[in-house]
Amino acid sequence: MKTVQFREALREAMSEEMRSDERVFLMGEEVAEYNGAYKVSQGMLDEFGPKRIIDTPIAELGFAGIGVGAAMNGLRPIVEFMTWNFAILAADQIINSAAKMLQMSGGQYGCPIVFRGGNGTAGQLAATHSQSFEAFYAHVPGLKVITPSNPYDAKGLLKAAIRDEDPVVFLESEKMYGDKGEIPENEYIVPIGIADIKRSGSDVTIVSFGKIIKEAYKAAEELSKDGIECEIIDLRTIRPIDYNTVVESVKKTNRCVVLEESWPIASISSEIAYHVQRYAFDHLDAPVQRITQSDTPFAFSPPLIEEASPNAARLIQAVKEVAYA
């Protein structure tokens, strides 16, 4: 094993896949000569050259569409968005083109493409730069959606995404790029669509994903001191969701809290809560609870951020409520 930063894990995934498959290339704003806005692609221009590491103008819709066309025509594009907030400008190509190409063409043209970049809040960046898009894209049939929470999963899942025949939305975080974690020296893959139990416990199931899951780790440590053992499920893939792992865990713990970075309405937490009540109803000893971001745009000033953000303290309270502790 070796210790790497999250950004290095992503870079290794892309570089390994580019070494083994000539069809794979990376395009996006500042990915080449600037070495990546967040240094994810640092050094890749030197290794692969300008044919395969391509700086684009600031034109998300245009270069996303160029990626889609290239994918339809046999290449394996990785399209980097500086953040997913800016990819809203490219949503037509992701949702109307990439996600639907295979069906609209009656199976003749697929779209093996990875759209990736930073997602969610990243400090005092105010309303337009602080959004999480798991639920947005998970809503769309035809896409796969991945949101890793540590370097190990990030590398293995990104490699799987690049090899996948279907279009993948890959959600990272500017706040996670510096996170360190252990990964194997040798090549490995983490399959898409399988959740991971990050902590075993018998009392309450916490379902989460992405960078906010760290708040669950903190909460679980605190709760353990009070004798409440949490099982933490990292969804890792948001479409398709590994419902089975969640339902089986709830059948064991009889309690469920969902922790999510985004807004409450039509969210992944509401989706999980639906499935738990539908498929583990008789096992529940308490209503499913959730901790999400406030039902407001994300504001600039620190106390407003404090008020908006899900955190360990709120999660602890929710867990205690479902545990009647």
**Enzyme catalytic residues:** 60, 129
Span 268-287, contacts to another protein by CB under 8 A: none
**What are the CA-CA distances from residue 314 to residues 158, 262, 306, 320 (Å)?**
32, 15, 11, 10
Q: Residue 94, interface with another protein (CB under 8 A)?
A: no
The Cα 116–Cα 26 span in angstroms is 10
Among 5, 85, 93, 254, binds another protein (CB under 8 A): 93
Q: Residue 302, interface with another protein (CB under 8 A)?
A: no
The Cα 92–Cα 166 span in angstroms is 17
The minimum distance between CB 156 and another protein, in angstroms, equals 17
The Cα 317–Cα 309 span in angstroms is 15
Q: Residue 65, interface with another protein (CB under 8 A)?
A: yes
Range in contact with another protein (rule: CB under 8 A) among 49-57, 115-123, 259-267, 280-288: 49-57
The Cα 236–Cα 151 span in angstroms is 12
Q: Between residues 37 and 102, which has the closer beta carbon with respect to another protein?
A: 102
Span 144-203, contacts to another protein by CB under 8 A: 144, 164-166, 193
The minimum distance between CB 69 and another protein, in angstroms, equals 2
The owner of tokens 């009070």 is: 226
Q: Structure tokens of 267?
A: 């969210």
The Cα 78–Cα 26 span in angstroms is 5
Range in contact with another protein (rule: CB under 8 A) among 4-12, 55-63, 119-127, 211-219: 55-63
For 301, other C-beta atoms within 10 Å of its C-beta total: 10
Range in contact with another protein (rule: CB under 8 A) among 100-108, 121-129, 246-254, 258-266: 100-108
Q: Residue 142, interface with another protein (CB under 8 A)?
A: yes
The minimum distance between CB 72 and another protein, in angstroms, equals 6
The Cα 179–Cα 153 span in angstroms is 12
- Beta strand 204-208 pairing with 256-259: parallel
Specify whether the CB–CB gap between 27 and 40 falls below 8 A.
no
Range in contact with another protein (rule: CB under 8 A) among 38-46, 95-103, 182-190, 292-300: 95-103
The Cα 147–Cα 322 span in angstroms is 27
For 23, other C-beta atoms within 10 Å of its C-beta total: 15
Q: Residue 106, interface with another protein (CB under 8 A)?
A: yes
Q: Residue 71, interface with another protein (CB under 8 A)?
A: yes
Q: Residue 227, interface with another protein (CB under 8 A)?
A: no
The minimum distance between CB 249 and another protein, in angstroms, equals 18
Q: Residue 240, interface with another protein (CB under 8 A)?
A: yes
Which residue in 157, 142, 148 sits closest to 239, CA to CA? 142
Among 16, 30, 75, 214, binds another protein (CB under 8 A): 75
Contacts of 11 (CB under 8 A, 6+ apart): 40, 41, 42, 43, 44
Q: Between residues 28 and 181, which has the closer beta carbon with respect to another protein?
A: 28
Q: Structure tokens of 95?
A: 């949702």
Q: Between residues 146 and 223, which has the closer beta carbon with respect to another protein?
A: 146
Q: Residue 120, interface with another protein (CB under 8 A)?
A: no
CA 311 to centroid of chain Cα atoms: 18
Task: Tell me which residues touch another protein (CB under 8 A).
Answer: 25, 51, 56-57, 59, 61-75, 92-93, 96-97, 101-110, 112, 141-142, 144, 164-166, 193, 240
